[in-house]
Amino acid sequence: MPPTPATSPETGAAASAGADREPLGQVDLSAHRPAAAELSRAAELTAGELLAPPAPVRLGDVVPAPEQVRPDPTADFALPADAAVRVGPDPDARDVAEQLAELLRPATGYPLPVVVEATATGGPLVLTLAAATPPAGVPRPRTAPEDAAGVDAGELGVEGYRLDVTPTGVRISADTATGLFHGVQTLRQLLPAAVESPSPVAARWVVPGGLLVDRPRFPYRGAMLDVSRHFFGVADVLRVIDHLARYKLNHLHLHLTDDQGWRIAVDSWPALTTVGGATEVGGGPGGFYTGADYRRIVRYAARRHVTVVPEIDLPGHTNAALTAYPELAPDRVAPPPYTGTEVGFSYVDPASERTYDFVADVLGEVAAITPGPWLHIGGDEAFKVKGAAYTGFVERTQRIVAGTGKTVIGWHQIAPAGHAEGRVLQWWGTDGADPVVAEAVRRGARLILSPGNHAYLDMKYAPDTPIGHDWAGLIDVRRAYDWDPGTHVAGVPADAVLGVEAPLWTESVTTLAEIEFMFLPRLPAIAELGWSPRTTHGWAGFRERLAGHGQRWATAGIAFHRAPEIPWPAERDGADTPPTALPTPPATPTPTG
Ligand code: TNX
């Protein structure tokens, strides 16, 4: 069951943050950091794992599973110390080549110069941008060698790539720099785990031979970070983007505003951040992104072929905005700042014109610094804005978004509002029978699937997980993995599914290590659902492929949960260790409804 409203919509009790919520706001979250025990254990293992004999990597050992794999055990390639990365003159392709070199230099210690050539020739590492994809409907000619290998290398599309490994080198080809970038992420996984080391390691840098052709099942594959309940600085967000890019996730949804803090500077309404940004769950200092910070995040993401999706949650989840601008509140009275974890009590006045000035100014400014096509308007849990007041607000806000030139996304509660061109609903239900959403899809909406009981990465893994919630159930890795976005919601055909997203709400998540602990190893499960063809889906294969990633994360200093259902390689003494004992979990600070 989703979180309950702070006060019953039926009783219409006062909306301000009253004393009834204070005890939750006072919860001492610092006492709830026992994830650190498991996290430090992961770090401790790092050195030992670096000494462990490298597990051989097979061509298919990639997450998300590639579409087509043709291993050739006679064609393994060993990277020589004097290798260069060769690439054509396209600036975006050159940048991918540079990023490949940046990835490989620390662990190999090789210089790996990037050499730009008019036409790509051979060599140990070659990135080739193929001719532009032919116009829609014109099939790309299939070339003989792939057909001979039984591989369909037809249109690679905007994100696909092929990767050829022969004894003389690795060639990644794609129609776009994005395809090349995804190919580079695959190559990274095909090298020994020690490639993740930040300092040189003596290793043979062997890539398994063969041919791989790969492209995504769904165009939208994302993760959400809630930076409102707890604020995370730019450096943390950049590191999250790195994690997305590894698994070919191409959207970062930032939940920028909520009751506990407003995190994005808006020049025309400055107090949103100076006043509304100074709080967070548990009473910490909060924080916010300046325009320059946000641009930096967007630029960093773009270089990794990740699109930032900003969310301004409206009309509910707005207590922080109301503390700064009481004129937006239904009673024009500023509520006290809110540092608890309940939902559904706050809203901007849908009957006031001033509210729409605010919405237009905020969405206009955010749109102006967002190069991606999407604006997310929230719309969830506005329990106190009912019926026509709610749908009228959403419809007007949808028009404001259209006026910015962006396409609107909203949580699935906006389904009853009228259709707007291209609109996308983010579905977080826990029951695939949702006729209201199916009807909105019939009227033209598309869906991003974030089923609460499979994709909500703020849910605990198990009863003893030291942080997280359980209102949508416990989500172990298998639960995160075993569902099909193409058939999940009754009456919603696969072609109405834009993709998948794994949200991380942060009421109980306060540090980067905790973000990583909740993301890994479940984020790759969601990534695979978004990228890989259904024919590759299988828990047995997935858990085996995923197992090798623990060593990669440990080597890179990334925290993760040693989920007991994954056969992580034996540790340094060669013995399997039982799952780390975790301290008694605290009572979750979020109501379970
Ligand atoms: C529900 S799902 C919320 C969030 C909470 C989350 C906690 C949705 C759109 N809203 O406000 O943070 O549950 O799991």
Q: Which of 159, 196, 381, 528 is catalytic?
A: 381
Q: Which residues contact 68 (CB under 8 A, 6 or more apart)?
A: 151, 152, 212, 213, 214
Atom of ligand 1 nearest to the CA of 378: 9
Q: Check pocket membership of 3 for ligand 1, CB cut-off 6 A.
A: yes
Q: For residue 300, what are the CA distances in angstroms to 181, 369, 373, 464?
A: 14, 14, 17, 36
Q: Cα–Cα distance between 460 and 504 in angstroms, integer?
A: 11
Q: Report the interhelical angle of 91-108 vs 177-190 (nearest 10°).
A: 10
Q: Copy the structure tokens of residue 391.
A: 């749908």
Cis check: omega of the bond before 64, within 30 degrees of 0: yes
Q: Cα–Cα distance between 231 and 229 in angstroms, integer?
A: 7
pTM for the model: 0.88
Q: Check pocket membership of 454 for ligand 1, CB cut-off 6 A.
A: no
Whose Cα sits closest to atom 6 in ligand 1? Answer: 505
Burial tier of 235 (Cβ tally within 10 Å: 0-12, 13-18, 19+): exposed
Q: Which residues contact 44 (CB under 8 A, 6 or more apart)?
A: none
Question: To the nearest 5 percent, what fractions of the chain are helix, strand and coil?
Answer: 35, 15, 50
DSSP state of 432: S
333 CB neighbour count, 10 Å cutoff? 10
User: Tens-of-pLDDT digits for all 593 residues of the chain?
Assistant: 444 434 333 222 322 322 222 223 233 333 334 455 554 454 444 444 444 555 579 999 999 999 999 999 999 999 999 999 999 999 999 999 999 999 999 999 999 999 999 876 789 999 999 854 444 443 443 333 444 455 666 799 999 999 999 999 999 999 999 999 999 999 999 999 999 999 999 999 999 999 999 999 999 999 999 999 999 999 999 999 999 999 999 999 999 999 999 999 999 999 999 999 999 999 999 999 999 999 999 999 999 999 999 999 999 999 999 999 999 999 999 999 999 999 999 999 999 999 999 999 999 999 999 999 999 999 999 999 999 999 999 999 999 999 999 999 999 999 999 999 999 999 999 999 999 999 999 999 999 999 999 999 999 999 999 999 999 999 999 999 999 999 999 999 999 999 999 999 999 999 999 999 999 999 999 999 999 999 999 999 999 999 999 999 999 999 999 999 999 997 544 333 333 323 333 333 333 32
Q: Which helix (H) or strand (E) holds 81?
A: none
Distance 344 CA to ligand 1 centre (A): 10
Q: Cα–Cα distance between 540 and 546 in angstroms, integer?
A: 10
Q: Which helix (H) or strand (E) holds 171?
A: strand 169-174
Q: Check pocket membership of 458 for ligand 1, CB cut-off 6 A.
A: yes
Q: Copy the structure tokens of residue 510.
A: 């306060």
**Mutate which of 383, 505, 518, 588 for ligand 1 pocket (most atoms within 8 A of beta carbon):** 505
Closest CA to 340 of 233, 236, 261, 224: 261
Q: Cα–Cα distance between 23 and 331 in angstroms, integer?
A: 25
Q: Report the interhelical angle of 512-519 vs 35-51 (nearest 10°).
A: 70
Rounded (5°) CA angle 80-86-90: 160
**Mutate which of 281, 377, 381, 506 for ligand 1 pocket (most atoms within 8 A of beta carbon):** 381
What DSSP letter does each residue of 342-402 carry, written as one string?
Answer: -BS--B--TT-HHHHHHHHHHHHHHHHT--SSEEEEE-TT-TTS-HHHHHHHHHHHHHHHH
Atom of ligand 1 nearest to the CA of 507: 12
Give the chain's length. Answer: 593
Q: Cα–Cα distance between 173 and 97 in angstroms, integer?
A: 12
Distance 345 CA to ligand 1 centre (A): 13
Distance 255 CA to ligand 1 centre (A): 11
